[in-house]
Amino acid sequence: MTGSLVLVEPGVITILRLNSPPLNLVSQEMTADLDAALAAVEGDAAVRAVVLAATGMRAWSAGSDVKEFSSLRGRVGEGKLTKENAVYDRLAALELPTVAAIEGDALGGGLELALCCDFRVVAESARLGLPEVRLGVMPGSGGTRRLPRLIGLARAKEMILLGETIDAATALDIGLVNRVAASGRAEAVATELAEKLASRGPIGMREAKRLLNATLDVAASEGRSRELEASERVFASNDMLEGVAAFIEKRNPEFKNE
């Protein structure tokens, strides 16, 4: 995708790279390019994990392109948020495990994008926040939905209603991120994590992620039924037999996603 605002670097570990430095602002054009990048990933059976990275060190993504706001008055849903939410939800629903490699600040719509990933690795010098209320607006691409699920309602209200940024250590302490890396090392650490995820059984990984994503939206009895159905699918796979054989033979499994 030459010239795209989201580059696709294919491989077993595919890297999707926001490519509009120095701020990597979430514009309508970037959203469209991210949608195309996700379609490419979904169509590649060789991919086992995805790292969402960015070009530059100043900001992973400093959020929405504020210059677009005045033209969206009275039609923000039609002009921006409907499509943005659809693309963000597409990332969150991706069957593959996803890791955000946050080198530099992740603010506003940028942090909302990171919240769509399964894991977040952040550089120790980065700042994170949802400062929209300080601009007279509010998070509109999943922040009010996803942040409370990660860090609890009280912490989410503090971040969103105050609009203040937090440092990497605080983000780790409250459960917003999974790893803190030395500055300049976020992508390397995220890739190492993605490699571990890619080595796990892809069928079991897919089913487990789907159930985890739905767990807060279904009753316990329905969740149990879904878990049993998923387990039947996993136990019907050749990957399950390979995993058991590798365990007994004390070797690394060679999963084939079948």
pLDDT higher for 60 or 219?
A: 60
Mean of per-residue pLDDT scores for the chain: 91
Q: Do domains 6-198 and 202-249 have the same CATH topology?
A: no
CA distances (Å), origin 205, targets 14, 167, 226, 234: 17, 31, 15, 10
237: how many CB neighbours lie within 10 A of its CB?
19
Say if residues 102 and 124 touch (Cβ distance below 8 Å): no
pLDDT at residue 38 greater than cutoff 90: yes
Of the CA atoms within 13 Å of residue 29, those in its CB half-sphere come to 10
pLDDT at residue 241 greater than cutoff 90: no
pLDDT at residue 247 greater than cutoff 90: no
Distance CA 223, CA 201 (A): 22
CATH superfamily label, 6-198 = 2-enoyl-CoA Hydratase; Chain A, domain 1 (3.90.226.10)
Catalytic residue numbers, as ranges? 112, 132
Is the CATH number of domain 202-249 1.10.12?
yes
Residue 180: which pLDDT band, with cuts at 50, 70 and 90? very high
What strands lie across the sheet with 49-54, from one edge to the other?
6-9, 13-18, 49-54, 98-102, 119-123, 179-181
Query: Which one, of 191, 181, 70, 83, lies nearest residue 136 by Cα?
Result: 70
Whole-model pTM: value is: 0.88
pLDDT at residue 162, as a whole number: 97
Domain boundaries, the chain: 6-198, 202-249
Query: pLDDT digits over 87-129, tens only?
Result: 999 999 999 999 999 999 999 999 999 999 999 999 999 999 9
1 CB burial (10 A radius; 0-12, 13-18, 19+): middle
Give the mean model confidence (pLDDT) for residues 146-166.
96
Say if residues 61 and 106 touch (Cβ distance below 8 Å): yes
